[in-house]
């Protein structure tokens, strides 16, 4: 099987104008993923469970592994020198580096280093999710916030690592989606899922139904539609909800399905963050033939205004997302931005 490095080098050769910097960046992310994976696999026997004793910008308790993963990815991106700034879920402010190499880096990264971290202690899949943009600020200085506040349509790459029954790196540079499984015996990511495509339809819907009474009418009606018995279709659908966006998205990418985290009256923007949760999965969904929306408009077209901004998310199989949008437009136009 082809390794991640072989795959990157092969793709690199397809672009005569490419300098190789971008390929090295993906390679750096792969290295950090392996280190984080090693640590996650020790959870339970090493003292890495539990809280760090600090709170992040979202007011959430940081787990020790959140902090470890954040540090590993920042370190890898700093040493690689391809990146001039990082926005991370774990850091209030933009991360920049005080060194010449990084200041000449052409790219910026938005990331959630360990998503779904409430699942760490119970041995359920978690993930790392990231998006990559070309910087807008001038080379030679440290990156600034405007470099990160670009709509998803400007993304040059996105991906995630899922730490599950096996560890996988799934990414896209805008030419389809490819998945690599880590072979732990040799420490290499191998191309196991070339050219991933999400089925146009499916029978899985993923949503935290405990919030049902707060959902917009459009979501309630869509859920009712999912549950209806319709022998000529796949309905009634089935629910699968892990509570790790990466893992829920990964399953739906392979099987076909829709993941939803809608807004409510109290939290009209929902929970998930645009830059480092919604944008990357939206990019991957579209690259795999699926769709991602806030109920009314394409996620990738949202102009971000701040690093940690939130948005409602409906992502997955094209026909399922379109149907959810139809219900939102019909019943919940008051949620339209």
Q: Measured from the CB of residue 35, what is the shortest distance to Mg ion in angstroms?
A: 19
**If contact means CB under 5 to 8 A according to the sort of partner, which of ligand AHM, Mg ion, none does residue 271 touch?**
ligand AHM
Residue list 129-188, contact with ligand AHM (CB under 6 A) = none
Q: Measured from the CB of residue 306, what is the shortest distance to Mg ion in angstroms?
A: 16
115 binds ligand AHM (CB under 6 A): yes
Q: Would you tell me how many other CB atoms lie within 10 Å of the CB of residue 68?
A: 18
271 binds ligand AHM (CB under 6 A): yes
Dig out the tokens for 281 from the structure: 């999965």
- From 39-47, 97-105, 244-252, 329-337, give the range in contact with ligand AHM by CB under 6 A: 244-252
Q: Measured from the CB of residue 247, what is the shortest distance to ligand AHM in angstroms?
A: 8
Stretch 98-137: interaction string toward Mg ion, x if CB under 5 A: --------------x--x----------------------
248 binds Mg ion (CB under 5 A): no
Q: Would you tell me how many other CB atoms lie within 10 Å of the CB of residue 138?
A: 9
Cβ proximity to Mg ion: between 62 and 332 the closer is 62
How many chain residues are in contact with ligand AHM, going by CB under 6 A? 12
- H or E element at residue 78: helix 64-80
**If contact means CB under 5 to 8 A according to the sort of partner, which of Mg ion, ligand AHM, none does residue 221 touch?**
none
Q: Measured from the CB of residue 164, what is the shortest distance to ligand AHM in angstroms?
A: 13
Cα 283 from Cα 45, distance rounded (Å): 37
Cα 308 from Cα 93, distance rounded (Å): 10
Sheet holding 167-172, edge to edge: 95-96, 83-88, 107-115, 126-134, 157-163, 167-172, 177-183, 188-193
Q: What values do phi and psi take at 254, rounded to 5?
A: -80, -45
Cβ proximity to ligand AHM: between 51 and 233 the closer is 51
Cα 224 from Cα 274, distance rounded (Å): 27
List contacts with ligand AHM (CB under 6 A): 60, 89, 112, 115-117, 208, 243-245, 248, 271
């Amino acid at each position: 099987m082809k390794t991640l490095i072989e795959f990157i080098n092969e793709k690199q050769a397809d672009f005569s104008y490419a300098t190789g910097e971008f390929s090295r960046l993906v390679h750096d992310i792969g290295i950090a993923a392996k280190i984080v994976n090693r640590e996650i696999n020790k959870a339970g026997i090493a003292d890495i469970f539990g809280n760090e004793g600090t709170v992040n910008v979202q007011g959430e308790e940081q787990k020790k592994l959140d902090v470890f993963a954040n540090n590993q990815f920042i370190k890898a991106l700093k040493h690689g020198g391809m990146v001039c700034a990082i926005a991370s879920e774990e850091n209030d402010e933009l991360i920049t580096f005080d060194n010449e190499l990084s200041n000449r880096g052409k790219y910026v990264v938005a990331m959630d280093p360990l998503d779904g971290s409430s699942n760490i202690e119970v041995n359920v899949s978690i993930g790392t999710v990231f998006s990559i943009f070309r910087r807008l600020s001038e080379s030679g200085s440290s990156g600034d916030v405007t470099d990160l506040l670009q709509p998803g349509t400007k993304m040059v790459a996105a991906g995630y690592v899922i730490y599950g029954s096996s560890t996988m790196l799934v990414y896209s540079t805008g030419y389809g989606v490819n998945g690599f499984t880590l072979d732990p015996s040799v420490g290499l990511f191998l191309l196991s899922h070339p050219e991933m495509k999400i089925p146009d339809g499916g029978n899985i819907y993923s949503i935290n139904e405990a919030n049902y009474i707060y959902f917009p009418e459009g979501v309630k009606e869509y859920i009712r539609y999912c549950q209806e018995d319709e022998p000529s279709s796949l309905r009634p659908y089935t629910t699968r909800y892990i509570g790790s966006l990466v893992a829920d998205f990964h399953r739906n990418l392979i099987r076909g399905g829709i993941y939803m985290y809608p807004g409510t009256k109290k939290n009209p923007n929902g929970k998930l963050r645009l830059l480092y949760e919604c944008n990357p999965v939206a990019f991957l969904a579209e690259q795999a033939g699926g769709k991602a929306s806030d109920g009314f408009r394409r996620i990738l077209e949202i102009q971000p205004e701040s690093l940690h901004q939130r948005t409602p998310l409906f992502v997955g199989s094209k026909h399922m997302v379109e149907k959810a949008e139809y219900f939102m437009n019909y019943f919940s136009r008051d949620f339209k931005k």
